[in-house]
Amino acid sequence: MSLTADRMNRISPSPTMAITAKARALKAQGKDIISLSAGEPDFDTPDHIKNAAITAIQTGDTKYTDVAGTMALRKAVAAKFLRDSGLDYKPEEIMVSTGGKQVIFNAMLATVQPGDEVVIPTPCWVSYPDIVALAEGTPVFVPCSQNNGFKLRAEDLDAAITPNTKWVFLNSPNNPTGAAYSAEELRPICDVLLKHPHVWVFTDDIYEKLTYDGFKPATIVQVEPKLRDRTVTMNGCSKAYAMTGWRIGFCGAPAALIKTMDKLQGQSTSNTSSVSQAAAVAALNGPEDALVEMVDVYKSRRDLVVDLLNQTPGIHCSKPEGAFYVFPSIQGCLGKTTPKGVKLNTDEDFVIALLDETGVAAVHGAAFVYPGHFRISYATSTELLVEACARIRTFCESLV
């Protein structure tokens, strides 16, 4: 009898975490490694947020909270949704979890049954398919081509929906591509969803505040309020406020679904850290000067990386609207051989050889269900980005 449950065979370790761990291990061995694999801001959490956590500790705010989060934080989340997107959620329609990933986990495990299909536009974040599979659902992938800015077309969504479709995922700005949807671009997608009243929508807006060139991202319920009663709007503090380690994700959703998710979370992790919740209140209610500064830096890095990669033979890189990733095509490099004699048959071969031969860690496109590309995070210093891009160019120029 096997100790491991069959359900564990439906999922794989996170490729992004695996590559980041490998890069960290090589660095610990004294290797010259530049890691561009992690989706994590390189900025420090702003001081007013850290001070709120310190105050919470000093004043004894270290006890259990309601499973769904403190009332102060749920009210702050509701105010954030209203202020930023015009979404009117009551505190009982808000839930706080240990990162955005737990929000997704809660929603899928609470609703998906064997035979249910979940439509996932690709490229997609690595965890979506595995969470759906763990919930015994079937991921249905809809490729979104680089020619269309890596964005979902309404006709492709319509074709993917069947009587078994339970959910549709949307992620804007997107991980790994940085592609973001405007209200005008979401309109035809909303029209398709209105035609299929049995389909729920999970919109992952975690990178919402990281957009450039005046781009205004939109979210589903903002564009079509009629979809409110079957939409989960997810966001969090990790990316916008450089709070990845604080583990704060949250969502707005119909009260009945929140109640079901609350039951599940109550029998798993229970409440998110009380200290992190106090910090999150300060993040959502406080000044955003640091965020504005971060966005300015990210934009300059994006422009730099896109320019340098497009000077590299075999690589084509489009300029994304948001997040802190680029997702260049490496079709011109595949089939070639590295100076150490490694044949690059796949994008995974490419990133492994890139790490082994140049010390640059990136994530292969197949991890995001979109082969022939690779993801670079530009959430690192400009100096390291310049050096990394120089190494990538030398590597690509050396292929035969």
Q: What is the mean pLDDT of residues 245-251?
A: 98
Q: Secondary structure of 267-321 in the HEC alphabet?
A: CCCCCCCHHHHHHHHHHHHCCCHHHHHHHHHHHHHHHHHHHHHCCCCCCECCCCC
24 pLDDT higher than 90: no
More confident residue, 179 or 6: 179
- Measured between alpha carbons, how far is 202 from 106 in angstroms, rounded to an integer? 12
Sheet harboring 325-326: ordered strands across? Answer: 325-326, 374-377, 363-364
Six-digit token pair at 154? 């309404």
pLDDT (0 to 100) of residue 169: 98
Res. 243: pLDDT tops 80: yes
State the pLDDT at residue 250: 98
Taking residues 114-136, what's their average pLDDT?
97
Does residue 346 have a pLDDT over 80? yes
Q: What is the pLDDT of residue 34?
A: 95
User: Are the CB atoms for 222 and 85 separated by under 8 Å?
Assistant: yes
pLDDT at 39: 85
Contact 378, 385 (CB under 8 A): yes
pLDDT value of position 12:
86
pLDDT, position 72: 98
pLDDT tens-digit series, residues 71-113:
999 999 999 999 999 999 999 999 999 999 999 999 999 999 9
On whether the CB atoms of residues 321 and 215 are closer than 8 A, the answer is yes
- pLDDT for the residue numbered 20: 79
More confident residue, 37 or 100: 100
Q: Report the pLDDT averaged over residues 245-268.
A: 98
- Domains of the chain (ranges, CATH numbers): 6-44+290-397 (3.90.1150.10), 63-285 (3.40.640.10)
At 21 the pLDDT is 81
- E strand or H helix at 179: none
291 with 241: CB under 8 angstroms?
Answer: yes
Residue 382 to residues 160, 359, 379: CA-CA distances in angstroms? Answer: 41, 17, 9
Q: Give CA–CA dist 167/253, Å, rounded.
A: 14
The pLDDT of 153-166, averaged and rounded, is 98
Task: Please spell the DSSP secondary structure of 321-373, one letter per residue.
Answer: SBTTEE--B-TTTTT-B-TT--B--SHHHHHHHHHHHH-EE-EEGGGGT--SB
In the chain, what is the greatest distance between 2 CA atoms, to the nearest angstrom?
64
Q: How far is CA 175 from CA 128, 161, 248, in A?
A: 11, 23, 18
Better-predicted residue by pLDDT, 266 or 147:
266
User: What pTM did the predictor assign?
Assistant: 0.96
Q: pLDDT band at residue 234, thresholds of 50, 70 and 90?
A: very high
Cα–Cα distance list, 343 to 1, 19, 317, 335 (Å):
41, 20, 23, 7
Predicted confidence band of residue 229 (pLDDT cuts 50, 70, 90):
very high
What pLDDT was estimated at residue 1?
A: 83
pLDDT of residue 113: 97
More confident residue, 21 or 399: 399
Q: Are 301 and 356 in contact (CB under 8 A)?
A: no
Above 80 in pLDDT, residue 16?
no
* 173-202 confidence digits (pLDDT tens): 999 999 999 999 999 999 999 999 999 999
Is the confidence at residue 25, as pLDDT, over 90? no
Token code pair at residue 279:
């910090």
pLDDT band (50, 70, 90) for residue 13: confident
Q: Span 379-398, mean pLDDT?
A: 97
Phi, psi for residue 113 in degrees, rounded to 5: -125, 165
pLDDT at 26: 85
- For the stretch 268-289, pLDDT in tens is 999 999 999 999 999 999 999 9
Q: What is the DSSP string of 108-155?
A: HHHH--TT-EEEEEES--THHHHHHHHTT-EEEEEE--GGGTT---HH
Does an H or E element contain 232, and which?
strand 231-236
Measured between alpha carbons, how far is 353 from 375 in angstroms, rounded to an integer?
15
Distance CA 4, CA 46 (A): 42
Q: Which pLDDT score is estimated for 123?
A: 98
Query: Span 25-44, mean pLDDT?
Result: 90
Closest CA to 269 of 247, 245, 251: 247
